[in-house]
A and B are shown apart, each in its own frame.
Chain A
Amino acid sequence: MSDIFANWQGASKIVDSEKAIRWGAVYVAMARGRESFKWWVPMLTYGIGHPVLYLISIGIGLGSIVAETQGLVDGVPYMVFLAPALLMASALQAAVDETSFAILQGFEWEKGFYAMNQTSVASKQIATGIMYYAAFRVFFNSLIYAVILAMFGAMTWEAIPGQLAIAMLVGMSFGFAMLTYSSFIAGEGDWLVLAMRFIIAPMFMFSGTFYQLETMPELVQNLAWVSPLWHATELARSLSYGSSDPYTLWHIVILVAIGVVSATIVYPQFVRRMAK
């Protein structure tokens, strides 16, 4: 029988501290992945089912009414107009999944972040590791989504790389924002539920996902500027079918700014909270 005492060599022989410290965030991401892949069947089903159901119900169902009454939207068939927006919404949702309740679980419910922090993993690396895995999730989800959209003819195959780039941009941007928000929450997570209901759900409705924002009152149009999803959707539409958009640079700048500002808040917050 293998015996722990007989084979004992000591940490100074078996642990390469430099290596452990260098790759800490990657180990965190891999641990997140292992946990999350316990749910790969529902994850994959949802990843495929969501676009398919939306495309059939809204794209084809609602699309046929739109075609009858209005013809083209933004110069293209409704499904083509809808596709980039759906893709961005799903990218944002994937990022939210990885940066909301999982954070509360790590800090509060299971205290897994403290377990990581007992090892050579530093507090900041936990935040980075979570974002690495969120990036993977956003990419993986968006890839499946985009392929399905292309199969339905709602998007060209050539458009996919550009769409993935914007999906990653909004995923990381809002992912960092959500991570920041979640990192301040204690207890049962009521504040997270509130954010889901009053920030994230309305964002899906008022970011021009299902209709052109120009049809809305000016107030709603102006509000869209604070919605990362709207910026991403605008970018994605202009890249997908070349919708005219005078604000391309602004969209990018704002999305990057949301991510950078959030990151400058969340890292010190992780250090503070872990050291409490």
Chain B
Amino acid sequence: MTDGSILAFIAILPFLGALVPGVMIRAGRNACATFTAVPTLLALLLLLIQAPAVMRGEVLTTTIEWLPQLGLSASFFLDGLGLLFAGMILGVGLLITLYARFYLSSDDPMGQFYTYLLLFQGAMLGIVLSDNILLLLIFWELTSLSSFLLIGYWKHLPEGRQGARMALTVTGAGGLAMIGGMLILGNIVGSYNLTDILAQGDVIKASEWYLPALILILLGAFTKSAQFPFHFWLPHAMAAPTPVSAYLHSATMVKAGVFLMARMWPALAGTDAWFYIVATTGLITMVLGAVIALFKDDLKALLAFSTVSHLGLLTMLLGFGTKAAAIAAMFHIINHLTFKAALFMTAGIIDHETHTRDIKRLGGLAKLMPITATIGAITALSMAGLIPLNGFISKEMMLEETLHTTWYHNPWIVPVLATLGACFSVAYSFRFVFHVFGGKVRDDYPATPHDPPFGLYASPALLTILVVVIGLMPHLAEPLVKVAASAVTGAETKPYLKIWHGFNTALYMSALAFVVGIFLLYLHGGLARIWDRMPRPEAKAIFDAIMQASVSSARWLIAGTHNGVMSRYLAVFVSFTVVIGYHAYATGGAAPATREMLPVPPIVWIGWFGVLAATWLVVSQHHRRFRSLIYLSIIGLMISGGFVYLSAPDLALTQISVETVTILLLLLALYFLPKETPVESSAGKRWRDGAIAVAGGVAVAALAMAFLTRDVDTISAYHLANSYKGGGGTNVVNVILVDFRGYDTYGEIIVLGIAGLTIYALMDALLRGPAAKRLRDRAFSPDRSRDRHPLMMVVVTRAMLPIAMLVGVYIFLRGHNQPGGGFVAGLVISIAFLMQYMASGFAWTQMRQRMEYHTMIGWGVLIAGLTGVGAWLAGKPFLTSAYGYLHFPPIEEFEWATAIVFDLGVFLAVLGAVMLMLYSLSRIARFAGETVNVEPMDYDPSAEAEENDDAAGQPQTEGQ
């Protein structure tokens, strides 16, 4: 194991680089393409620097721990297989970047394209470098997402959008299945580290969970690699721009499934289940893809089905489970990459220059586009498996392997079917050559064909050179194939690649395929007519029908259960919770009660009775809204008393101040709401709701009783012991808030601030809509008081203001050692302001104080946050408080603690949020025609004038 800390950087490079093209496009298309190439090139160079070590057989690893308890870590490793794939991803990525620069037209948003491309490249690299299967799964899903963006890149094309959706649905669903399979694997082995899993192959294969895990993982691999019966998405994904098809659908993404099967080989391969599932699927896909490819007239569709067929070939080889088959598979991966990517790019060039991809409209291009034709012909012949090109060698190796394979005691079925596939492969490859480049020059091309600029054919030309070089000198590829195959099989392999093995059975099979293939092409016209008349299942129709069925069943389910009647959801929710709770109670066992009950003095009985009576009154009188609010406040008061009695002075203070603010807020809101709730529910519904409510109440009471009578082992001893020593305060509740659990508190004040801002935003949006008109047209209720700002109240609150402020400051300052603190102080001060607002009107008061409540919330959160950051500067974790003592000679010793600064932030955030909420309500009042009084005390003469005008206009007093 060698240190590979560079791997994490390689994996992250494309993601970092993805940010650049979107910006660089402003500097022009060349700059954009160049800056896309930079991170790719850099990653490739870094990879090549590591390559010699890997070729020596070393494995590079690196781990960045994140949540070791859950087995989550960013672990990467690089072995032969990873090197092969990473090299392909980055190398072809570079070629595609160059090709796409010339392929995309000036109307296409190129920056977007390159950003998606780099995202995809990063996701692919992540898959092949991950050493943690959970991390691998994340990258796996990222490839699905980024390929969705790439396939649907031409948003204006419906086929593009549909193809992208189909690809995402199929590969995404497979990915979900794979998550299940990987989690099972992790459970069997007890680790999510790929290296550990691969080392535990025997344990996995012996486990009873082996088969489910295998099937789920293979579902992921098969969907990704377009294996039968999931092959149908790949041809539809051809709606993507050709650089995407060349990159994703020949070189990289579709090979991810093959990669995964190769990667998991030591853990999963070698069983009968593996052989029959993987090899059979691969064989069927290989033959089926080759047959369909012959009958496609669209160049890209032909290549797509050919890719399906070749992916089937690779899958089949991996399914064989032998070392020789693994070597053949690794070699064919390289070969397929070279010729298929070049072919896709050729198809793209033809499409670009002639404006059609329909084979029936092409032909004779050899004379018009000689360079393109040379590239296309060489690579297509390699695809056909012709000597002396690289496709020939790996195809021979494949045929040789099939001869050693017995399928269910039958030694000839696999070689025969493989030869059949090879026949069709020859046929469609020759069709690509002869029907496109061969034949006479036509005069009805949609555009005048000519060879493209160098930039467009440079990439496929380079790949074509590789096709020929590997074909003639296969030993050059030997070292790479060796390390890759060794990594797959987990054992030393000795590939011996050469072009001529003498006259053997495989060669005869090839020759037969060649002859039959030529013959098939000769018969093509007649065969195509028969093919067209043959009834075939149309994959897209089936897929659409399945999607339609899922959508309508989901809709049916929603309409049945989630139809907008909130009281029904809540009734179902409460009943279900009670039933579940009862089930737990009936089936579980509880330890016997251990706590003595405390005695109940008479005063407590009074409080208890107060709660009961007030609850009953709220429930029974809830139609009269004002009254029920008053009863509600009684409950709050009783609970505050309860907190005092039960040794929670901080809670009592908070409860009583929150109570005040809440009731005031509700009263203000009620001014605009109907004052009565109409009786709408039938008696039956009320009884039903009552029954549900009583059941819920009894359940909660029983639960509370159960734990109250039993002892508990709490962590509070730690807090009590360290409150003074560590936090410098004697009020343990406050120290917990500002120190031990300061992060929680920090979150809470942010939530409160967001609530305040939400209300402000809500009102802002509301006052632009129809509600504003309704408010303006609204008549004041006839019974409103004419004495809006009574003299007595103004005088009293004026006198109270400094006292209330003083109390607030006092509560704030003593908070660390005695009951109090930022929360309570914020509430108390806001009540002090509230009294002014109530006495003299909001607008009048607002004009006399200059405080921005938004800013106040912001400062509060900022101050609290900065206090926490300050701890970092002292080298401590976020929000660790410091404290000390100051001594001023004549006075007593002073304590200082950074916690009080944090508490100041809490105070400001609470004050700002509460005031902002009230401010929002007052804005509604202003819209509704509330006037601003000039004097603090104010008598509204308008109503009197009305009264004089209309002597009969007696205010009515109903409805309160």
**Same complex origin of A and B:** no
